[in-house]
Structure 1
Amino acid sequence: MPFNRVDVAMRELISAFSGVEAADLIDRLARTAAAVADTGYAGFVRVDPLRQEAWPVHVHAPPGDPLGVRRWLAESGVLKELAVAAEPVRLARDASVGEPGFLAAPVPLASRDHTFVWVAGREFGDGDEHLLSRFSMAAGRALEAASGLEAAVRLLRGVRAFRPA
Protein backbone atom coordinates (compact mmCIF):
# COMPACT_ATOMS: atom_id res chain seq x y z
CA MET A 1 0.00 0.00 0.00
CA PRO A 2 1.53 3.34 -0.98
CA PHE A 3 2.15 6.06 1.59
CA ASN A 4 -0.97 8.21 1.86
CA ARG A 5 -0.22 11.59 3.40
CA VAL A 6 -3.89 12.44 3.92
CA ASP A 7 -4.60 9.14 5.67
CA VAL A 8 -1.63 9.60 8.01
CA ALA A 9 -2.62 13.20 8.77
CA MET A 10 -6.25 12.23 9.46
CA ARG A 11 -5.19 9.33 11.68
CA GLU A 12 -2.89 11.63 13.69
CA LEU A 13 -5.59 14.28 14.06
CA ILE A 14 -8.20 11.74 15.15
CA SER A 15 -5.72 10.28 17.64
CA ALA A 16 -4.94 13.71 19.09
CA PHE A 17 -8.62 14.64 19.42
CA SER A 18 -9.48 11.25 20.94
CA GLY A 19 -7.08 11.76 23.84
CA VAL A 20 -9.74 13.26 26.12
CA GLU A 21 -11.99 10.68 27.79
CA ALA A 22 -15.19 12.25 29.17
CA ALA A 23 -15.38 9.94 32.21
CA ASP A 24 -11.76 10.64 33.13
CA LEU A 25 -12.31 14.38 32.68
CA ILE A 26 -15.37 14.37 34.99
CA ASP A 27 -13.43 12.39 37.60
CA ARG A 28 -10.49 14.81 37.42
CA LEU A 29 -12.81 17.81 37.65
CA ALA A 30 -14.56 16.34 40.71
CA ARG A 31 -11.28 15.53 42.46
CA THR A 32 -10.04 19.05 41.73
CA ALA A 33 -13.27 20.62 43.00
CA ALA A 34 -12.82 18.70 46.26
CA ALA A 35 -9.24 19.93 46.53
CA VAL A 36 -10.19 23.53 45.73
CA ALA A 37 -12.94 23.42 48.38
CA ASP A 38 -10.64 21.71 50.90
CA THR A 39 -12.96 18.76 51.40
CA GLY A 40 -13.04 15.10 50.46
CA TYR A 41 -16.35 15.15 48.63
CA ALA A 42 -17.34 16.53 45.24
CA GLY A 43 -19.25 15.54 42.17
CA PHE A 44 -21.67 16.43 39.43
CA VAL A 45 -25.45 16.34 39.30
CA ARG A 46 -27.39 16.54 36.04
CA VAL A 47 -30.91 17.95 35.85
CA ASP A 48 -33.40 16.94 33.16
CA PRO A 49 -34.47 19.63 30.64
CA LEU A 50 -37.89 20.00 32.29
CA ARG A 51 -36.21 20.57 35.66
CA GLN A 52 -38.23 17.90 37.38
CA GLU A 53 -35.54 15.37 38.24
CA ALA A 54 -31.85 15.45 39.13
CA TRP A 55 -29.40 12.58 39.48
CA PRO A 56 -25.73 12.25 40.39
CA VAL A 57 -23.52 11.59 37.39
CA HIS A 58 -20.29 11.38 39.38
CA VAL A 59 -19.44 11.25 43.08
CA HIS A 60 -15.92 11.60 44.44
CA ALA A 61 -15.73 10.51 48.08
CA PRO A 62 -13.08 9.31 50.52
CA PRO A 63 -12.80 5.55 50.90
CA GLY A 64 -15.68 4.22 52.96
CA ASP A 65 -17.64 7.51 52.63
CA PRO A 66 -17.22 8.41 56.35
CA LEU A 67 -19.86 11.18 56.27
CA GLY A 68 -22.37 9.08 54.32
CA VAL A 69 -22.67 11.68 51.56
CA ARG A 70 -23.68 9.14 48.90
CA ARG A 71 -26.65 8.04 51.01
CA TRP A 72 -27.40 11.65 51.98
CA LEU A 73 -27.53 12.67 48.30
CA ALA A 74 -30.11 9.99 47.61
CA GLU A 75 -32.25 10.49 50.72
CA SER A 76 -32.02 14.16 51.75
CA GLY A 77 -34.09 15.90 49.10
CA VAL A 78 -31.11 17.91 47.87
CA LEU A 79 -31.54 16.44 44.38
CA LYS A 80 -35.10 17.79 44.24
CA GLU A 81 -33.79 21.17 45.34
CA LEU A 82 -31.12 21.15 42.62
CA ALA A 83 -33.71 20.15 40.01
CA VAL A 84 -35.45 23.50 40.37
CA ALA A 85 -32.48 25.70 41.32
CA ALA A 86 -30.93 28.20 38.92
CA GLU A 87 -28.47 29.70 41.41
CA PRO A 88 -25.88 28.15 43.74
CA VAL A 89 -27.30 26.04 46.56
CA ARG A 90 -25.68 26.12 50.00
CA LEU A 91 -26.82 23.93 52.90
CA ALA A 92 -25.39 24.28 56.39
CA ARG A 93 -23.51 21.52 58.11
CA ASP A 94 -25.29 19.94 61.06
CA ALA A 95 -23.62 16.69 62.05
CA SER A 96 -26.26 16.01 64.75
CA VAL A 97 -28.88 15.37 62.05
CA GLY A 98 -26.52 14.01 59.37
CA GLU A 99 -26.21 17.18 57.29
CA PRO A 100 -22.65 17.13 55.90
CA GLY A 101 -22.55 20.74 54.64
CA PHE A 102 -23.14 21.16 50.92
CA LEU A 103 -22.46 23.69 48.19
CA ALA A 104 -23.44 23.37 44.53
CA ALA A 105 -22.93 25.77 41.63
CA PRO A 106 -24.53 25.55 38.19
CA VAL A 107 -22.15 24.63 35.39
CA PRO A 108 -22.70 26.78 32.30
CA LEU A 109 -23.14 24.31 29.44
CA ALA A 110 -24.65 25.22 26.08
CA SER A 111 -25.06 21.72 24.68
CA ARG A 112 -26.12 19.65 27.70
CA ASP A 113 -28.81 19.45 30.33
CA HIS A 114 -28.53 21.69 33.36
CA THR A 115 -25.61 20.49 35.49
CA PHE A 116 -24.24 21.35 38.94
CA VAL A 117 -20.80 20.80 40.39
CA TRP A 118 -21.00 20.26 44.14
CA VAL A 119 -18.75 19.89 47.15
CA ALA A 120 -19.67 18.62 50.60
CA GLY A 121 -18.24 17.81 53.98
CA ARG A 122 -17.87 21.10 55.87
CA GLU A 123 -19.46 24.49 56.46
CA PHE A 124 -19.23 26.71 53.35
CA GLY A 125 -19.29 30.51 53.16
CA ASP A 126 -19.57 33.26 50.57
CA GLY A 127 -15.91 32.93 49.55
CA ASP A 128 -16.38 29.21 48.91
CA GLU A 129 -19.47 29.94 46.82
CA HIS A 130 -17.58 32.48 44.73
CA LEU A 131 -14.65 30.09 44.24
CA LEU A 132 -16.89 27.16 43.28
CA SER A 133 -18.85 29.36 40.86
CA ARG A 134 -15.60 30.33 39.13
CA PHE A 135 -14.50 26.69 39.08
CA SER A 136 -17.87 25.71 37.56
CA MET A 137 -17.23 28.08 34.65
CA ALA A 138 -13.87 26.40 33.96
CA ALA A 139 -15.48 22.96 34.32
CA GLY A 140 -18.19 23.95 31.84
CA ARG A 141 -15.60 25.09 29.33
CA ALA A 142 -13.67 21.84 29.75
CA LEU A 143 -16.79 19.67 29.35
CA GLU A 144 -17.91 21.63 26.28
CA ALA A 145 -14.44 21.35 24.77
CA ALA A 146 -14.37 17.60 25.36
CA SER A 147 -17.81 17.29 23.77
CA GLY A 148 -16.61 19.34 20.80
CA LEU A 149 -13.57 17.11 20.37
CA GLU A 150 -15.76 14.00 20.45
CA ALA A 151 -17.99 15.52 17.75
CA ALA A 152 -14.93 16.47 15.69
CA VAL A 153 -13.64 12.88 15.86
CA ARG A 154 -16.97 11.56 14.57
CA LEU A 155 -16.92 14.06 11.69
CA LEU A 156 -13.29 13.29 10.83
CA ARG A 157 -14.01 9.56 10.78
CA GLY A 158 -16.83 10.28 8.34
CA VAL A 159 -14.52 12.34 6.13
CA ARG A 160 -11.94 9.58 6.22
CA ALA A 161 -14.52 6.86 5.46
CA PHE A 162 -15.97 8.67 2.46
CA ARG A 163 -12.73 10.03 1.01
CA PRO A 164 -12.00 8.46 -2.37
CA ALA A 165 -9.03 6.10 -2.33
Structure 2
Amino acid sequence: MLPPQTASWQEHARRRQATDLEHGNELHRLAQLQQVLTDPDLRRMWWIARFPERFKDLKPLAEELDGLPAPQGAQDDDLRGDIRRLTDQLVTALQTPQQREVFLRVLVQTFQALGPLGLRRGAGSRPQDAADAEEDQAEHAQRHAVRARHD
Protein backbone atom coordinates (compact mmCIF):
# COMPACT_ATOMS: atom_id res chain seq x y z
CA MET A 1 0.00 0.00 0.00
CA LEU A 2 1.19 3.50 -0.85
CA PRO A 3 1.89 6.06 1.87
CA PRO A 4 -0.96 8.60 2.21
CA GLN A 5 1.20 11.46 0.86
CA THR A 6 2.03 9.49 -2.30
CA ALA A 7 -1.58 8.48 -2.89
CA SER A 8 -2.69 12.08 -2.33
CA TRP A 9 -0.05 13.38 -4.72
CA GLN A 10 -1.03 10.83 -7.38
CA GLU A 11 -4.70 11.77 -7.04
CA HIS A 12 -3.78 15.46 -7.35
CA ALA A 13 -1.69 14.68 -10.48
CA ARG A 14 -4.61 12.72 -12.00
CA ARG A 15 -7.04 15.57 -11.34
CA ARG A 16 -4.66 18.12 -12.77
CA GLN A 17 -4.09 15.98 -15.87
CA ALA A 18 -7.86 15.59 -16.36
CA THR A 19 -8.37 19.35 -15.93
CA ASP A 20 -5.55 20.12 -18.38
CA LEU A 21 -7.07 17.69 -20.90
CA GLU A 22 -10.52 19.28 -20.55
CA HIS A 23 -8.99 22.75 -20.91
CA GLY A 24 -7.04 21.68 -24.01
CA ASN A 25 -10.16 20.16 -25.55
CA GLU A 26 -12.13 23.34 -24.90
CA LEU A 27 -9.40 25.52 -26.44
CA HIS A 28 -9.27 23.24 -29.48
CA ARG A 29 -13.07 23.37 -29.85
CA LEU A 30 -13.06 27.18 -29.58
CA ALA A 31 -10.22 27.50 -32.13
CA GLN A 32 -12.20 25.34 -34.55
CA LEU A 33 -15.32 27.45 -34.01
CA GLN A 34 -13.27 30.62 -34.54
CA GLN A 35 -11.93 29.13 -37.79
CA VAL A 36 -15.49 28.45 -38.95
CA LEU A 37 -16.76 31.88 -37.94
CA THR A 38 -13.93 33.78 -39.66
CA ASP A 39 -14.39 32.00 -43.00
CA PRO A 40 -17.59 33.29 -44.68
CA ASP A 41 -18.22 30.08 -46.64
CA LEU A 42 -17.67 27.79 -43.67
CA ARG A 43 -19.71 30.10 -41.46
CA ARG A 44 -22.65 29.98 -43.89
CA MET A 45 -22.56 26.18 -44.15
CA TRP A 46 -22.17 25.79 -40.38
CA TRP A 47 -25.11 28.14 -39.74
CA ILE A 48 -27.37 26.40 -42.26
CA ALA A 49 -26.52 22.97 -40.84
CA ARG A 50 -26.94 24.12 -37.25
CA PHE A 51 -29.85 26.58 -37.55
CA PRO A 52 -31.70 25.93 -40.84
CA GLU A 53 -34.84 27.71 -39.64
CA ARG A 54 -32.88 30.88 -38.75
CA PHE A 55 -31.21 31.62 -42.11
CA LYS A 56 -32.29 35.26 -41.97
CA ASP A 57 -30.23 35.72 -38.78
CA LEU A 58 -27.00 34.87 -40.60
CA LYS A 59 -26.44 38.34 -42.06
CA PRO A 60 -26.57 40.17 -38.70
CA LEU A 61 -24.23 37.53 -37.25
CA ALA A 62 -21.77 38.04 -40.12
CA GLU A 63 -21.84 41.80 -39.49
CA GLU A 64 -21.13 41.26 -35.79
CA LEU A 65 -18.25 38.92 -36.58
CA ASP A 66 -16.65 41.27 -39.10
CA GLY A 67 -13.05 41.78 -38.04
CA LEU A 68 -12.83 38.61 -35.96
CA PRO A 69 -9.24 37.40 -36.42
CA ALA A 70 -8.53 33.88 -37.60
CA PRO A 71 -7.20 31.61 -34.86
CA GLN A 72 -3.47 31.58 -34.41
CA GLY A 73 -1.55 28.31 -34.62
CA ALA A 74 -0.20 26.73 -31.49
CA GLN A 75 2.70 28.67 -30.09
CA ASP A 76 6.02 27.03 -30.77
CA ASP A 77 8.58 26.63 -28.08
CA ASP A 78 11.50 29.01 -28.57
CA LEU A 79 13.75 26.58 -30.42
CA ARG A 80 11.08 25.39 -32.84
CA GLY A 81 9.92 28.95 -33.47
CA ASP A 82 13.49 30.10 -34.09
CA ILE A 83 14.08 27.23 -36.50
CA ARG A 84 10.84 27.97 -38.36
CA ARG A 85 11.65 31.67 -38.67
CA LEU A 86 15.20 30.95 -39.82
CA THR A 87 14.02 28.41 -42.38
CA ASP A 88 11.34 30.78 -43.67
CA GLN A 89 13.92 33.56 -44.03
CA LEU A 90 16.35 31.24 -45.82
CA VAL A 91 13.75 29.96 -48.24
CA THR A 92 12.50 33.49 -48.91
CA ALA A 93 16.06 34.73 -49.54
CA LEU A 94 16.77 32.03 -52.14
CA GLN A 95 16.39 33.73 -55.50
CA THR A 96 17.28 31.12 -58.07
CA PRO A 97 16.57 27.41 -58.56
CA GLN A 98 20.32 26.79 -58.23
CA GLN A 99 20.38 28.44 -54.79
CA ARG A 100 17.40 26.37 -53.73
CA GLU A 101 19.08 23.18 -54.93
CA VAL A 102 22.29 23.98 -53.03
CA PHE A 103 20.28 24.77 -49.89
CA LEU A 104 18.34 21.51 -50.11
CA ARG A 105 21.51 19.45 -50.71
CA VAL A 106 23.22 21.02 -47.68
CA LEU A 107 20.09 20.44 -45.61
CA VAL A 108 20.05 16.79 -46.66
CA GLN A 109 23.73 16.46 -45.74
CA THR A 110 23.01 18.02 -42.35
CA PHE A 111 20.23 15.54 -41.64
CA GLN A 112 22.47 12.70 -42.75
CA ALA A 113 25.24 13.89 -40.43
CA LEU A 114 22.85 13.95 -37.48
CA GLY A 115 22.66 10.21 -37.67
CA PRO A 116 19.16 9.02 -36.74
CA LEU A 117 17.82 6.89 -39.56
CA GLY A 118 14.41 8.60 -39.41
CA LEU A 119 16.01 11.97 -40.17
CA ARG A 120 18.06 10.41 -42.95
CA ARG A 121 14.98 8.87 -44.53
CA GLY A 122 13.11 12.17 -44.30
CA ALA A 123 16.04 14.06 -45.75
CA GLY A 124 16.53 11.52 -48.51
CA SER A 125 12.91 11.45 -49.58
CA ARG A 126 13.32 13.91 -52.46
CA PRO A 127 13.03 12.00 -55.77
CA GLN A 128 16.41 13.13 -57.14
CA ASP A 129 18.05 11.95 -53.92
CA ALA A 130 16.61 8.43 -53.98
CA ALA A 131 19.94 6.98 -55.10
CA ASP A 132 21.72 8.95 -52.37
CA ALA A 133 19.27 7.61 -49.78
CA GLU A 134 19.82 4.03 -50.92
CA GLU A 135 23.58 4.59 -50.83
CA ASP A 136 23.28 6.05 -47.34
CA GLN A 137 21.29 3.04 -46.12
CA ALA A 138 23.89 0.68 -47.58
CA GLU A 139 26.66 2.67 -45.88
CA HIS A 140 24.74 2.52 -42.58
CA ALA A 141 24.36 -1.25 -42.89
CA GLN A 142 28.07 -1.58 -43.66
CA ARG A 143 29.05 0.49 -40.59
CA HIS A 144 26.70 -1.58 -38.45
CA ALA A 145 28.32 -4.79 -39.73
CA VAL A 146 31.81 -3.44 -38.97
CA ARG A 147 30.77 -2.49 -35.43
CA ALA A 148 29.26 -5.93 -34.92
CA ARG A 149 32.55 -7.59 -35.95
CA HIS A 150 34.49 -5.45 -33.46
CA ASP A 151 32.14 -6.30 -30.59
Superposed pair shares fold, TM > 0.5: no
Q: Could you say which structure has the greater relative contact order, defined with CA pairs below 8 angstroms and 6 or more residues apart?
A: 1
Instruction: Give the structure with higher Rg (CA).
Output: 2
More helix by share: 2
TM-score when normalising by structure 2: 0.27
